[in-house]
């Protein structure tokens, strides 16, 4: 696995207001998700596969929130959620958002079932956006963030 790169925010905040968000998204959508977080002043760890995301989460610095696509190519957001919630570390308590943005017809039809399953498995939020909205994404994840970034709170 190539080393994950923590991308620095485009808008500078104080270190105590700069959160780290791990994103797991399909290649064609990851840029807009990443850009939304960077423009809001947060660091981003963009990931394309569950194995790379878990390798980072288990071995690197803490993240303050995880945002994962509801519909991944050849992988399951539920598998990822189960791995995160089943971790025997700080990871199990990480805020986890399942994002369904720009859904096709099948995703729209199955959205209520996906939301119910995500909630039952421990997701903190399920977000359905008929069109991706960067400001709404940030507004929705902000209340889930800890009072201060975990890398400053946990030695």
First to last CA, the chain: 26
Long-range contacts at 77-86 (CB < 8 A, ≥ 24 apart): 77/24, 77/118, 78/117, 78/118, 78/121, 79/50, 80/24, 80/50, 80/53, 80/54, 81/118, 81/121, 81/122, 81/123, 82/121, 83/50, 83/54, 84/57, 85/121, 85/122
Residue of 81, 94, 106, 107 lying closest to 24 (CA atoms): 81
pLDDT of residue 1: 41
Rounded to 5 degrees, φ, ψ at 90 are -55, -25
CA 54, 55, 58 angle in degrees (round to 5)? 80
Rounded to 5 degrees, φ, ψ at 14 are -65, 155
pLDDT of residue 103: 92
Its pTM stands at 0.91
pLDDT of residue 126: 98
Joined together, the tokens standing for residue 17 give 């207001």
Residue of 92, 79, 85, 98 lying closest to 137 (CA atoms): 98
pLDDT along the chain (155 residues), means of 10: 72 84 88 89 92 86 90 94 90 93 93 97 97 93 90 66
Joined together, the tokens standing for residue 73 give 């190519």
CATH of segment(s) 15-145? 3.40.50.2300
Torsion of CA 33, 144, 128, 45, to 10 degrees: 20
pLDDT of residue 60: 62
């Amino acid at each position: 696995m190539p080393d994950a790169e923590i991308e620095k925010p485009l808008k500078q905040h104080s270190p105590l207001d700069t959160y780290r968000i791990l994103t797991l998204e399909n290649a064609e959508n990851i840029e807009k998700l990443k850009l939304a977080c960077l423009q809001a002043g947060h660091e981003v760890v963009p990931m394309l596969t569950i194995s790379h995301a878990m390798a980072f989460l288990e071995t690197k610095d803490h993240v303050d929130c995880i945002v994962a696509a509801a519909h991944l190519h050849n992988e399951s957001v539920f598998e990822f959620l189960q791995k995160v919630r089943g971790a025997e570390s700080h990871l199990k308590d990480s805020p986890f958002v399942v994002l369904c943005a720009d859904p096709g017809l099948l995703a729209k039809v199955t959205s209520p079932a996906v939301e119910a399953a995500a909630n039952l498995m421990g997701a903190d939020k399920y977000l359905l956006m008929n069109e991706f909205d960067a400001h709404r994404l940030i507004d929705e994840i902000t209340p889930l963030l800890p009072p201060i970034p975990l890398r400053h709170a946990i030695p």
